[in-house]
Structure 1
Amino acid sequence: MSFLQGIAAALTPLGLIWTILIIGLATFLHELAHYALARWQGVAVKSFSIGMGPVLARRAWRGTEWRLSLLPIGGYVEIDGMAPTEDPDGTYRQPTRGFAGLPAWGKVAILLAGPLMNLLVAIVLMTITFTAQGVPAPDRARVEAVLPNSRALQLGLQAGDVITAINGRDIPDTQTVDGRLVAGWEGVRTALGQDGRKTLTVERAGAVREVAFDWTARVNGVVQRLGIQYGPDVQAATLPVAFATSIQTTIEAVPQILRAFGNLFARFVTLDLSRDENVSGPIGTAEIVSRAAALSPWALVQVAILLNLSLAFFNLIPIPGLDGGRILLVLIGAVRRRPLTLAQEQAINVAGFAFVMLLMVFVVVRDVSRFF
C-alpha cells in the first residue's frame, strides 16, 4: 500500500469535515476569548483570523479586520501593543500603548482567556454528556461485550450485565492497582489475577444472580482471560451532579495530559518517531475523528472534549510563543518592576516560536512516518 493509499484508507471525507469543524470551532472560541478580554479593557484588536497563511476573505467590522485564511490550522488575533512599534525609518521600539500599557493583571487576563475558554468548552460538553448519558459509577462494572468461545460466554454472561460485587464484597469506589489509585471497577482484572473460587454478583434487567466458578489465573504461564470487555456502569445524574463530575474528571485528566506532553517532549529530544497513542498529529487526529464519526454523535463530542482540554493545557505550558510563555514573561516583568527590553523579549519569543514550530514538524513527521 502506498503512502497516499494508506492515508486514504485511514481517513474519510466526513471525518475530514468534522475534523476541520471541531478544530476550527475550538480555535475560534480560543481567539474570541483573547479578543473579548482585550476589547473589554479598551485595547484595539487589529485583525482576527480563522486559519493561517494567505487570506481568502476579509471584512472590517468594529475596528477589526476579520479574516478567513487558507490553512485550517489554528488562528490568531493581532492585539494592539503586543508587537513592537515600527518607526518611519524602519527601526523598531518597545510599544507603550494598548496591551503594553496595561497592568500585569490585565495582560495576564487577556493571555489566560484563550486557554480558559477551551477549558470551559470542555467542561460544558462533559456536563451535557453526563446529563444525557449519566455519570460513571466507580463501584459497578458494566459488561460491554462478551468474546466468542470465552469462559464468560460459557458462564452465561451477556453484554449489559452489571457486576456489583466480587466474592461477596461490594466493589469499592476506589482501590490501588499497581501503586495507582483507580476507580473500583478497574480492579475487576486484579480480582481475576489470583487462583481460587470466584463468585460474581451480577445484575441483569433488575434481577440479581450469582455466577460462581473455579478460576486459574495462569495456565502454563499464560494469563487467562475471562473474555469480557467492560467499563464503568452509569447512573442518571442531575445537572449539578453532572457539572461536579465534569470538574472532577477535568482535574483527574490533568496528570494524564501533562504526562502525555512530557512524553512528547522526551521523544522530540531523542527524535523517537515511534507512534504514541496519547498524542496525535493532524492526520492521526483526523483518523480518530473519522472513527468517531462512524460510531455516534456522542463519540464526536468526546473527541471535541479531549481536543479542547489538550489545547487549553498545551497553551498554558510556559514556552515562549505560547500563552503560558507570554504569561511567564509578564510575571517576570512584574517581579522586576520593569518589562524586559525589546531585544530580550524578541530573542526569547523567537527561540520559543522556533521550538514550537520544530515540535509541530516532529509531530507531523511522526504522524505520517507510519504510512511508509
Structure 2
Amino acid sequence: MLITIATFIIVFGILVIVHEFGHFYFAKKSGILVREFSIGMGPKILAFRKNNTSYTLRLLPVGGYVRMAGAQEDVDDLQPGKMVSLQLNDDSQVVRINASDKQMLFQGIPVQVSKFDLVDELWIEGYENADENQFKRFYVNHDATIIEQDGIEVQIAPRDVHFESAKLWQRALVSFAGPLNNFILAVVVFALVGLLQGGVPAQNNKLGVVSDNSVAQKAGLKAGDQILALDHKKVTDWTSMATKIQSSAGQKVAVTYKRGASVKTITVVPKKVTVSGQTIGLIGVSYQIKYDLASRIMYGFTGTWAMIERIWHALANLFTGGFTLNKLGGPVAIFANTEQAAQNGVVSVLTFMAFLSVNLGIVNLLPIPALDGGKLLLNLVEAVRRKKLSEKSENAVQIAGFVFLMLLMLAVTFNDIYRYFIK
C-alpha cells in the first residue's frame, strides 16, 4: 500500500507540475503576474517566494494551480474594517501589507482599512492605530506584497499585469500551454519506455502473437496475418482495430486479412471480459514488436499518437456507445490502476503515466467552461466578436462549467468507490 501511495503521489505530482508549468511559463513570458504556483490543494505545508511568485506545497496531492493576477482576484483578505499592518519604504510607499494574524511586520504601521485601490491608483485609506482622528491615505508601491490570512505572501495585482490585460493570442497560448506540456511529457515518457523495454509495437496491422485456444486461433488466424478490414470497413492502424474488437464483445465481427498473396474473410465473436467495471471484447491477439533503436526512440511520437487515437475513440464511444459512469474514472480509479501498475514494475508505471498525461491533455482541451478548452472557446468567441464578453457573462459561464465539473467528479468518485472497493 505504501508503494502504491508513493507512486500515486509521484506520478500525479509530475503530471500537475508539468501541466501547470506550461501555464506558468507562458504567463510569465506574456507579462502576466503569477501570484502563486501551487502543488496540491488545501492547507499549505511549505512556501517560499522568488521573482514575484509564491511557490507553495499543499497537503492534498489531488491537483495544483497557477494563480494569475486578474479581475476575478479574491480580495477577502483586505476589506473595509479589517486591521492590517503596513510596511513603508524610504519614499513612504507601502511595500508590504500584512492581513494575517499569523505573522508580524517589523515596524509595521497598524491601520484599520476604510477604502483601498490596489488595481489602478494603488492606495489604501484608513485609520492609523484605529484612531478616528488619524485618517490617512497611504500610496502603495507597484510591486508591493500582501500577506494573506493563511500566511502566504503574494504580489499585489495592478491592472497592467492582469491576465485580461494580455493580448488575445497571449491569453490563448497560456491556456493551451498546459495541455501542450502534457503531450510533450507523454512523448518523452514513451521514448523512455521504448528504450527500457527493448521493443515497441510495430505501426502496422500485422498480428505478432495469436494466443493458444483463443478466439482468433480457433477462427484460423496466425501470427503474421495482416488485418485489412473489420465488418468490411478498412482499418489503417492497430488502435482502431483494437477499439472495434473491444466494443464488439459477444457480437459477430467479419475480419478480412491478408496472408501471403491471399486475402480471406472470416467471422469471429470477441470474448466478453470485464476490466475496471467495463465489459470489452478480446480475441487473443497482440501486435508485432520492433527492436531497432530508431523505432524505440520514435516510440515517443508513435506511442503518443496511438494513445491520442485510443482516448479519442473512447471519448467518442461515450456518446455513440451509450453513456455510463463506468466509462469515466476519477482519482479513485487512478489510484486503483496505479496499484496495479506499481506491481508490474517501472515500465508499467511509466506507461500509465504517459497514458494519464495524454488523457489530461485531451480532457483539458474539451470545450467545457472552467477547463482550458473552455477558455480557448471564449478566446475564439472574442476573436469573432472582436471584443471581450462582459465580465458578468464570462463569470456566469465559468461558474456553470465549474459546477458541472464538480457534480460530475462527485458522481464519478462515488461510482469508482463502489466498483473498486464495494462491488
Q: How does 1:23-172 map to 2 (within 5 A)?
A: 23-81=12-70, 83-84=72-73, 96-98=159-161, 99-132=163-196, 133-137=198-202, 138=204, 140-143=206-209, 146=212, 163-165=223-225, 171=226
CA distance in 1, matches of 2:38, 2:6: 19
CA distance in 2, matches of 1:25, 1:249: 19
How many angstroms does 1:280 deviate by?
2.0
Counterpart of 1:237 (choices 287, 292, 295) is 292
Distance 1:64 1:265, change over 3 A: farther
Distance 1:45 1:267, change over 3 A: farther
CA deviations over 1:255-314 (Å, ceiling 9, x no partner): 43234335557999x7x45x33xx322222111111111112111111001000000011
CA distance in 2, matches of 1:152, 1:317: 40
- Structure 2: stretches of 5+ with no match in the other structure: 80-114, 121-157, 246-252, 261-265, 272-281
CA-atom RMSD, angstroms?
4.1
CA distance in 2, matches of 1:313, 1:139: 25
1:258 — aligned with what?
Answer: 312
CA distance in 2, matches of 1:267, 1:313: 20
How many angstroms does 1:142 deviate by?
3.1
Task: State the one-letter code of the partner of 2:224.
Answer: T
How many angstroms does 1:349 deviate by?
0.7
1:318 — aligned with what?
Answer: 367
2:111 — aligned with what?
Answer: none
Task: State the one-letter code of the partner of 1:135.
Answer: V
1:177 aligns to 2:177 (yes or no): no
Distance 1:338 1:76, change over 3 A: same
Distance 1:222 1:363, change over 3 A: closer
CA distance in 1, matches of 2:49, 2:284: 55
CA deviations over 1:109-160 (Å, ceiling 9, x no partner): 1111110000100011112223442332335433386469x9979xxxxxxx
How many angstroms does 1:334 deviate by?
2.5
Which structure has the highest helix share of the two? Answer: 1
CA distance in 2, matches of 1:68, 1:42: 24
Q: Contact 2:192–2:300 at 8 Å: present in 1 too?
A: no
* Equivalent position SS for 2:55: strand
CA deviations over 1:46-86 (Å, ceiling 9, x no partner): 01111112222211222111111121111001112263586
1:348 aligns to 2:397 (yes or no): yes
How many angstroms does 1:182 deviate by?
4.9
How many angstroms does 1:316 deviate by?
0.6
Counterpart of 1:363 (choices 412, 418, 421) is 412
Q: Contact 2:36–2:53 at 8 Å: present in 1 too?
A: yes
Say which one has the larger Rg: 2
Task: State the one-letter code of the partner of 2:223.
Answer: I
Identity of aligned residues (%): 27
CA deviations over 1:175-229 (Å, ceiling 9, x no partner): 2113351547969x9xxx99xxxxx99xxxxxxxxxxxxxx989xx999xxx994
Distance 1:145 1:55, change over 3 A: same
CA distance in 2, matches of 1:299, 1:135: 13
Normalization by structure 1: what TM-score?
0.72
Q: Contact 2:342–2:349 at 8 Å: present in 1 too?
A: yes
Q: Contact 1:22–1:304 at 8 Å: present in 2 too?
A: yes
